[in-house]
Structure formats: structure tokens, C-alpha cells
Amino acid sequence: MSEYILEMKQITKEFTGVKALSGVNFKVEKGEIHCLVGENGAGKSTLMKILSGVYPYGTYEGDIVFNGEVQRFNKINDSVEAGIVIIYQELALFPDLPVYENIFIGNEVNHGGVLDFNQTIVESKRLLEKVNLKVNPETLIKDLGVGKQQLIEIAKALSKDVKLLILDEPTAALNEDDSENLLSLLRELKKQGITCIMISHKLKEVISIADKATVIRDGETICTLDAAKGEINENTIIKNMVGREIEDIYPKRAKKDFGDNVLELSNWTAYDPQLGRNVSKNVNLHVRKGEIVGIAGLMGSGRTELALSIFGNSKSYKIQGDLYVEGRPVLLRHTEQAIKAGIAYVTEDRKGDGLFLLQDIKNNISAANLKGISANGVINENEEIKVADHYKTSIGIKASSIQQVVGNLSGGNQQKVSLSKWLFVGPKLLILDEPTRGIDVGAKFEIYSVMNELIAQGMSIIMISSELGEVLGMSDRIYVMAEGEIKGELSAAEADQEKIMQLATQ
């Protein structure tokens, strides 16, 4: 009988009448890497918030047994003291502080309240070595990439004498290299006896790293799979997550001939005065009517920057080169002009710069095209309701009504709202930046289906994506970017994972 470091027994948590978790049992053995998988809204994060004391003892039912003792965490510090550290998807680092201060923030090396910087730096170096990160501890966080920042978070956790490390989608923002790096670090830590719980949407990662995987669906534990018994594979996990078999997650669309160029860029170079370098270099690309063009590349390869420079130059880059919409050269100085020219951009960060979270679905959908439902500046609310209802049904936004506040929707439904907003604008070219990031398999399929429908209606799509499967499954043609340049162009027929990665890492 192996030893459990953590047992969560019959955990039930309600939010004003809605059961987020009902009788969840979750057991983690000492020294294993245990993955927690489930669709968005299944209750994974809630469970982890209970474990880390964000939801204090008394607000839930059930028991937490950690290290053989029943625990009652009243606040986050209680769980940290017990040796449980959680690293959230959104990193909690201070960009303007150096690495060493970040590692020891809240846990400062001090003598009677006076900081000991020398000791802090020495300790930081030791911790950085542990996470295989070679940076000067005096570097500012903002000067590091996301991958390295993630490692700093882990170093921070190690500084607290962690026994159980919880990672909430640690690789969501990482490129494949950094992800692999992180996973091998987790294996390393496992050898040192640190138990790890990882929430992840990336099944490949789960398969490669997990000793056990627990699937949660609709607030209940569905099963715990054991790698040693060969139970952890894509089909089994997906089947348990959604409760149904998914045959093909990339819906087919009828092949057809493409029309003329909708968008063309020639020798497009964008200089970012804030960064002091070119974010796009000499880009030449074209998108034809009725085509899905994938833009692959690693994080930081300049894909989002390219999209923003096309979409009304939101970041005020200095631009050289020409942009043609349907063959005519145009100059787009503001997002307003880009929208008028028929270009729409669905952001990768829907919560940060995509949606108005405090407003309802209706207001969000109409936000970019209020002119379409108003006369003389006065909004026709009936028309607005019709429009919102139309998209709610046709895109399949799951909500009680179009008056529901967007902030309360799940990630997938938020993405659908974001998409609806732009469909209502009726663009010729839709730029989708990471359209399925952080959303569950079911919602992904629905979004792919919508994309196919749009193409059938004669729209064109640029899809920026870090998921190779998605790029390969959906695109008619693929550009691969690295360091702000287009490193290669592949047709759907010739493209495969190896070729893309080869170009992306040039």
C-alpha cells in the first residue's frame, strides 16, 4: 500500500445555489506527478483553490488530509506553511523588480526587518541552479521571456520548502521548447521527492509526464488513470473528459477554388519604438478569398505583432511596406479604419483586451458595430437583441440569456462571444489569434465548425496558432514565422509537424 501525501475526501462546494463540486475524491501519492484534467468549468481550479486555502475552511464540505493530518486552511499562508504551493496560469511576478527580489517576495531574507540583499542573491543563485535557469539574479523580470518567468515562479515555490507543488496550466503560454524544458524540470523535482499536481489542457503533455491522471467532469471525479497500467492515452482521457467519443476534432470542409487576393503585404516591416527593434521584418504574404491561412511559430516569433500592425497599427509601430486590401493599397492608421476596410482581429487575450467582462453578452456582441444597429447615434435596442439572439443560437453560446454578464461565462463561451462580435461586423478577412487557447475540446470543435462555415460564405481567415495540430488540421496554407520574419510557406499537403518546427526554430 503506497502512501498518500494528499487525500481530499467528499469535497462539495457551492456558489450561491450552484454546485461547483459535488463529492469529489482526489488522492495523490507521495512523489508522483498527478495531472488533473477536465473541460473548462469542470471544477479543477475550484478544487485547487480549496486545497490552497483561497476558499477557507468552512466554505466547503469534506476533508483535506495532507501528510496524514486533517487540515483546516483558513488562508493561503496556512497552506503554504504546510508545504503546498500553487502557481497560477497568470504569473504573480513583479515586472519591475529583479529576479532575486521576486523569488523571495513575501518570504524575504531579513534580520529584524532589515533585508539582507547579499544573502538573498546567494540563495537566489542556488534556487536558479535548481531550476536549471542561467540568468543573473539581478535581471528585471520584464526582461525575461514567459518561459523563464515560469521557472522563476517555480524557484519561488522551492524557496518556501515546498512539498506539494500545484501548477495551473503551466505551459499554456509557453512555446514547445520552453514547455519541454519545464516538463523535464518537473521530472527532476520528482526525483528530489517533490510531489506535483498539474492542471493541463494539453493532452500530449499529460501523456508524457503523468504518473496518474484524474479526470473531473461537471464537478465530479470521473476516474483516476494510472500510467503504470497503460491507461493514460489520448482516447481514454478525451472520452472521460467529454463523456463521448470524438472521432475527428477537425471538421472537414468542402474543397474549392480560392478567389483573388483579399489581403496582400509586401515588404512589410514594423518597428517598435518602445522595444527599439523591428517586430516584423520584410514580410510578404497574401490571403485569398475563401482561404484559411495558418501562421505558425513559437511564442515571441512576432505573429501577434504582425496581426496588430495590419489591424490599424494599434501599437503605433513605425511601418514600412505596402498593404493591399482586394488589390487596392490602403493606409490603416486606426483600428476604426481597419474595420472599415473589412479586417477584423480576434485577440489572443480575450479577458485582457477582447471583452468587456462587466457587460452582458448583448453589449459585447454589438460593441464593434454599433453603427449597424443605430440611427443618428441612437441605438435600436430591439435590433440589438435580435442580433445578439441570432449569434447566441447560430454560434451556440451557452448562457441563460443574452443579458448574462460575460465575465461569468466559461472560456469557450467567452471566445464565442468574442467571435460573434467580429462576425457582426461582417469582415472580409478575419484574423484569429490563438482562437482556441484555454478552451475545452467540445468548444474547440464548435469554433472550427464556425470557421468552416465562414469560409463557405466567402470570408477569408488568418489563423495564428501555437497548436501544431490545429494549424495542420485547419489551414489551406501555412506560413511559419520566427523572429518577425516569414521563414517559409507550406501548402496543406506538404506540411507536417517536423517541417513546421524546423522552420520555426531556424
CA angle 382, 384, 388 (to 5 degrees): 120
Instruction: Provide, rounded to whole angstroms, the least separation between the CB of residue 247 and another protein.
Output: 36
What are the angstrom distances between the C-alpha of 504 and each of 282, 377, 480, 496?
Answer: 16, 47, 6, 12
- Tell me whether residue 146 or residue 367 sits nearer to another protein (CB atom): 367
Q: Do 433 and 345 touch, CB atoms closer than 8 A?
A: yes
Pick from 350, 303, 294: nearest CA to 470: 294
- Map grid coordinates 531550476 to a residue: 131
**Residues contacting residue 18 through CB under 8 Å, at least 6 positions apart:** none
Q: Is 497 in the site for another protein (CB under 8 A)?
A: no
Q: Is 382 in the site for another protein (CB under 8 A)?
A: yes
Instruction: Provide, rounded to whole angstroms, the least separation between the CB of residue 385 and another protein.
Output: 5
Q: Is 17 in the site for another protein (CB under 8 A)?
A: no
Query: Residue 205 corresponds to which cell in the numbers above?
Result: 503533455
Report d(CA 434, CA 348) in Å as an integer: 5
- Give the residue, chosen from 18, 228, 378, 493, that forms a contact with another protein under the rule CB under 8 A: 378
Number of residues lying near another protein (CB under 8 A): 35
Report d(CA 4, CA 11) in Å as an integer: 17
Helices and strands (DSSP H and E) totals, the chain: 16, 24
Q: Do 96 and 142 touch, CB atoms closer than 8 A?
A: yes
Instruction: Provide, rounded to whole angstroms, the least separation between the CB of residue 163 and another protein.
Output: 32
Q: Do 436 and 444 touch, CB atoms closer than 8 A?
A: yes
Residue 414, classed as helix, strand or coil, is helix
Task: Specify the stretch interacting with another protein by CB under 8 A; choose among 31-39, 286-294, 332-340, 467-475.
Answer: 332-340
- Tell me whether residue 34 or residue 362 sits nearer to another protein (CB atom): 362
Q: Is 135 in the site for another protein (CB under 8 A)?
A: no
- Give the residue, chosen from 108, 234, 260, 381, that forms a contact with another protein under the rule CB under 8 A: 381
Residue 451, classed as helix, strand or coil, is helix
- Tell me whether residue 207 or residue 357 sits nearer to another protein (CB atom): 357
Instruction: Provide, rounded to whole angstroms, the least separation between the CB of residue 353 and another protein.
Output: 3
Instruction: Provide, rounded to whole angstroms, the least separation between the CB of residue 231 and another protein.
Output: 39
- Give the residue, chosen from 132, 336, 426, 502, that forms a contact with another protein under the rule CB under 8 A: 336
Q: Is 107 in the site for another protein (CB under 8 A)?
A: no
- Give the residue, chosen from 3, 247, 377, 494, that forms a contact with another protein under the rule CB under 8 A: 377
- Give the residue, chosen from 60, 104, 345, 479, that forms a contact with another protein under the rule CB under 8 A: 345
* Ramachandran quadrant class, 282 (left: phi over 0; alpha: psi -120 to 50; beta: rest): left
Q: Is 243 in the site for another protein (CB under 8 A)?
A: no
Q: Is 371 in the site for another protein (CB under 8 A)?
A: yes
Q: Is 404 in the site for another protein (CB under 8 A)?
A: no
Q: Is 383 in the site for another protein (CB under 8 A)?
A: no
Site string for another protein, 408-427 (x = CB under 8 A): -------------x------
- Give the residue, chosen from 26, 55, 60, 311, that forms a contact with another protein under the rule CB under 8 A: 311
Report d(CA 384, CA 374) in Å as an integer: 9
- Give the residue, chosen from 102, 363, 413, 466, that forms a contact with another protein under the rule CB under 8 A: 363
- Give the residue, chosen from 93, 121, 206, 339, that forms a contact with another protein under the rule CB under 8 A: 339
Residue 214, classed as helix, strand or coil, is strand
Q: Do 296 and 478 touch, CB atoms closer than 8 A?
A: yes
What are the angstrom distances between the C-alpha of 301 and each of 105, 208, 304?
Answer: 31, 26, 8
**Residues contacting residue 423 through CB under 8 Å, at least 6 positions apart:** 391, 395, 430, 454
Find the length of the chain: 506
φ and ψ of 50, to 5 deg = -70, -45
- Tell me whether residue 66 or residue 311 sits nearer to another protein (CB atom): 311
Return the H-helix or E-strand segment holding 490.
strand 485-491
- Give the residue, chosen from 374, 428, 473, 499, that forms a contact with another protein under the rule CB under 8 A: 374
Q: Is 354 in the site for another protein (CB under 8 A)?
A: yes
Instruction: Provide, rounded to whole angstroms, the least separation between the CB of residue 374 and another protein.
Output: 5
Task: Specify the stretch interacting with another protein by CB under 8 A; choose among 182-190, 336-344, 457-465, 479-487.
Answer: 336-344
- Give the residue, chosen from 159, 280, 313, 366, that forms a contact with another protein under the rule CB under 8 A: 366
Tell me the Cα Rg of the chain: 24
Q: Is 309 in the site for another protein (CB under 8 A)?
A: no
Q: Is 370 in the site for another protein (CB under 8 A)?
A: yes
- Give the residue, chosen from 267, 284, 359, 506, that forms a contact with another protein under the rule CB under 8 A: 359
Q: Is 20 in the site for another protein (CB under 8 A)?
A: no
**Residues contacting residue 210 through CB under 8 Å, at least 6 positions apart:** 33, 34, 35, 198, 225, 227, 232
Q: Is 341 in the site for another protein (CB under 8 A)?
A: no
- Tell me whether residue 119 or residue 380 sits nearer to another protein (CB atom): 380
What are the angstrom distances between the C-alpha of 43 and each of 40, 120, 407?
Answer: 8, 38, 17
The rounded Cα 291 to chain-centroid distance in angstroms is: 25
Task: Specify the stretch interacting with another protein by CB under 8 A; choose among 158-166, 171-179, 266-274, 306-314.
Answer: 306-314
Which residues of the shown chain bind another protein in the complex (CB under 8 A)? 311-312, 314, 334-336, 338-339, 345, 347, 352-359, 363, 366-368, 370-371, 374, 377-379, 381-382, 385, 389, 401, 403, 421
